[in-house]
A and B are shown apart, each in its own frame.
Chain A
Amino acid sequence: MQNSNLLNLEIRNIHKRYDSQTALSNIDLVIRKGEFFSLLGPSGCGKSTLLRILAGLESADEGEIWWNGRRIDQLPARERPFNMVFQKYALFPHLSVFENIAFGLRLKGVATAEIRSRVDEVLTLMSLAGFSERMPETLSGGQQQRVALARALANRPECVLLDEPLAALDQKLREHMQTELRLLQRRLGLTFIFVTHDQEEAMLLSDRIAVMNAGRVEQVSTPRELYEAPQSVFCARFVGRRNEILGTVQRRDAGWVDLSFGDRVILRGRSVGATPGSGVDGKTETRFFVRPERLRILTANANPSEGWNTLVGEVVQVVFRGTYSEVVFAVTGGANESTLLRAFTDEGATTTVGDQVRVEFSPQETHVFSGVDE
C-alpha cells in the first residue's frame, strides 16, 4: 500500500457496518489515474456502499481514502474532486437541463458567462446541444443518462463515480452507451470508477475489475486475468460460464491436485492459492473448474494430447449460438451422480444428440480452489 506514485486513489482498510451487519470489511484498493475501474459484484455485495463512501455521501467506520497523496475521507462530499452519476440519474425535476448541469457551478459561484460556456461545452460533448431548455421528464432514458454525465463532468471532476448508470436502459441502448462511455473516458483521460452487477459490462469497459462479494474484495485484475485465472471459487462462478467436476482428492503436490472421478478416471488440476482441503487423501471431495471453450471434443480416432485430462460422455443437447455451438453432454463412468458438462466448439454441426463424445482439457486450464465446498 506504500505506493510511491501519487497520482491515484488509495483505499486503505475500509470497514463499514450497518447495525450488526457488516457491509464492507477490509477494503484495500489502489486505483490508478486515468483508469476505468469497475467494482463488480452481486447486489448487496457492498459495491454501491463503497462508491458512496468514496463520494462522501456515507462515511466509513474505519479506514482512509487518499487521492493523489491527500487524505480525503474526512472531507464532505462537496470538497472532494469527484462527481457521481446516479443509478436513476437523480436529475432535479424542477430544473431545466441547463440548470441541472449548471447546479454545481452556481454553488461554486462561477461567473454567469463562464457557466454558460462550460454548460455548452459539456452539452456539445454529450451530443445534447439544443436540449438545454428541456425539462428532464421530457427526455428519453438515454438522454437523461447523458445529462447526468454532463452534470457530473461540468464540475471538472478528477474522478467520475458511476453507480450502475446503464442499468435502467434497454439492451440495445445500453450497448451503445457502453461504447460511448468508454470512448469518452479515454478522450478525457479521467479516472472512472464504475459500479455494476453485469459481468459482461465490466469485462467490456474496464481496464481493471475488483470483484466484490459479501463486503470483501475477492480479486482485482484485468478482465482477461479475471476470466482466465480466477482467484477464488466466487470469481470463477460469477464471471463467465464454467464446468464444475466433483471428485475425490487422490494426491496433492506443489500446486497440483489429482482428482479421481468415478472408478478409473484421474484428472489433474492446478490449485489456486493454498492447496484445498485439509482432509485425508482419498476421502476429501472437491471441485475442478474448467471453462466450456477449453474442452476440446476429440474425433473418433484422434489420440488425446499428452498429459491432458480426458472424459467420455453422451451428448444430450446441442445449442447453435451463431459463432459457436454449445454441446452439453452427460459424463459416463463418473461417480454416482451424473455430471453434465458443456463444451463450446466451432464444429457443433457434426455432433448430434445421442453421440458418444470424448473430450480433453489441459490441467493448466483446470482450476481447483481452497475452501470450495465451505
Chain B
Amino acid sequence: MNERHRPRPPRSIAVVLPLMLIALYLPLAVMLISSFTDIQDGGSYFTLRWYHEVFADPALWEALSRSFLVASGAAAMSTLLGLLGALAIDKWSFRARVVLRTLSWLSLMLPELVLALALLSWFALFGLTLSLWTVIAAHITLTLPFVILIIGARLKGLDPAYDDAARDLGAREWQVLTRVTLPLLAPSIVTGFLLAFLISFDDFLVTFYTNGVGSDTLPVRLYSMMKQGMSPKIQALSSIMLIVSVVLIALLARLRGLKSLADAES
C-alpha cells in the first residue's frame, strides 16, 4: 500500500496527541523538579538536600547495589544463555525454530504477575529459600526471551556466505564462530545485555514475589517507603532510577539493536 493513499488522520489528532504526550511526560518533569526543590516558609528553593538524604541512607545504598548486582547478574546470564539459544535455534529445523520463537514471544505477553506467582510456587516446590539468588533466577527467566529475540533477529539477517567464506579461507567451525559470527553479532549481544539489564533493574512485580527477607532491590525498597507516604526523598530516588533508565535507553538507541528487532518482525 502506498503511503499517499492512506486516509488522512482527523485534524484534531494534531491537538490531542501533543496533549497526551504532555500528560504523560509532565508528571515526570514535576517529579524531577520537586526532587530538587525545598519548600520552606512558603518559598521554594533549589536544593540537593533530598539527594544527600538518599545517598546518606545506608539501606538505600544497599538496595541500589543489590539492584545493580541482580541486574548485571541476570543480564549477563541471560545474554550468555540467549546467545547460545539463538545460535542453536538458528541451526535447528524450521519446525523447532517456529516452536521456540513462538514460546519466546508468548512469554513476553504473559501477565507478569502470573509469571511471578508461577516462579514463586516453583521455588517453593524445590524448597529453595527466597533470596537474591532466586530473584536473579527469576529475572533470567524474565529477560531471556528478549535476548533470544534480539540476537536471533540479527543472526537471521546474517548472510551465510560469511561463514562459507571463512571456511573457504581455512577456518574451523569454532574459528568461524569466534572470528566471524560473534563479531558480527556483537552489537546485538550488547543490545540484548542492556535491555535485559534495564528490564531487571526496573522490575518490581517479579522481584517483590521472589525475593527473600532483607534483600530488597531499589524498586521494592521504593515501594515500602511509599507506604509511609510520598516524600521529596522518594522523588529523588525515583529520579535516580529514571536517569539510569534513560542512559541505558540512550545507549540502546545508539546501538540500534531495537531497530533490527523491529525489522525482523516486519
* Chain A residue at minimal CB-CB distance from B175: A107
Q: Does A93 contact B (CB under 8 A)?
A: yes
Whether the Cβ atoms of B168 and A55 lie closer than 8 Å is yes
Q: Which of B14-22, B97-105, B156-164, B232-240 contacts A (4 or more CB under 8 A)?
A: B156-164
In the complex, the answer to whether B171 meets A90 with C-beta atoms within 8 Å is no
The total of interchain contacts (Cβ-Cβ below 8 angstroms) comes to 60
Q: Are B161 and A90 in contact (CB under 8 A)?
A: yes
Counting contact residues on chain A (CB < 8 A from B), the size range is 20 to 34
User: Given A94-B183, A107-B175, A57 and B167 touching (CB < 8 A)?
Assistant: yes
In-complex Cβ contact of A103 among B164, B169, B172 (8 A)? B169
Known: A78-B171, A103-B166. A86 touches B161 (CB 8 A): yes
Contact A107 B169 (CB under 8 A): yes
**A155 contacts the other chain (CB 8 A):** yes
Interface residues of A (CB under 8 A from B): 52, 55-57, 76-78, 82-84, 86-88, 90-94, 103-104, 107-108, 151, 155
Cβ distance A140 to chain B, nearest Cβ, rounded Å? 19
Q: Are B165 and A155 in contact (CB under 8 A)?
A: no
- Is chain B's binding surface mostly helix, strand, loop or mixed? helix
List 19 A–B pairs whose Cβ atoms lie within 8 Å, in order of A's numbering: A57-B167, A57-B168, A76-B167, A78-B167, A78-B171, A82-B168, A83-B168, A84-B168, A86-B161, A86-B165, A88-B159, A88-B161, A90-B161, A90-B165, A91-B165, A92-B162, A103-B169, A151-B169, A155-B169
C-alpha spacing A93/B185, complex, angstroms: 11
B171 in contact with A107 (CB, 8 Å): yes
Which chain A positions have C-beta within 8 A of B184? 92-94
| CB-defined contacts of A56 to chain B, threshold 8 Å | 167-168
CA gap between A113 and B169 in the complex, in Å: 19
- With A82-B168, A90-B159 already in contact, 9 other A-B pairs whose C-beta atoms are closer than 8 Å: A56-B167, A77-B168, A78-B172, A90-B164, A92-B184, A103-B179, A104-B169, A108-B170, A155-B169
Q: How far, in angstroms, from A155 to B167 measured CA to CA in the complex?
A: 13
Expressed in whole angstroms, the Cα–Cα distance for A92 and B180 within the complex equals 7
B residues with a Cβ closer than 8 A to A are 159, 161-162, 164-172, 175, 179-180, 183-184, 186
Identity of the chain A residue whose Cβ is nearest the Cβ of B158 in the assembled complex: A93
Contact of A92 among B165, B170, B175 (CB under 8 A): B165
- Max chain A CB contacts within 10 Å: which of B166, B168, B186? B168
Q: Which 6 pairs show the lowest CB-CB distances between chains A and B? A: A104-B169, A90-B161, A90-B165, A78-B170, A107-B170, A77-B167
**How far is it, in angstroms, between the C-alpha of A155 and the C-alpha of B166 when the chains are bound?**
12
Q: How far is the CB of A179 from chain B (nearest CB, A)?
A: 26
- Do A104 and B170 touch across chains, with their CB atoms under 8 A apart? yes
B252 CB to closest chain A CB (Å) equals 20
Instruction: List chain B residues, Cβ under 8 A from A93.
Output: 184
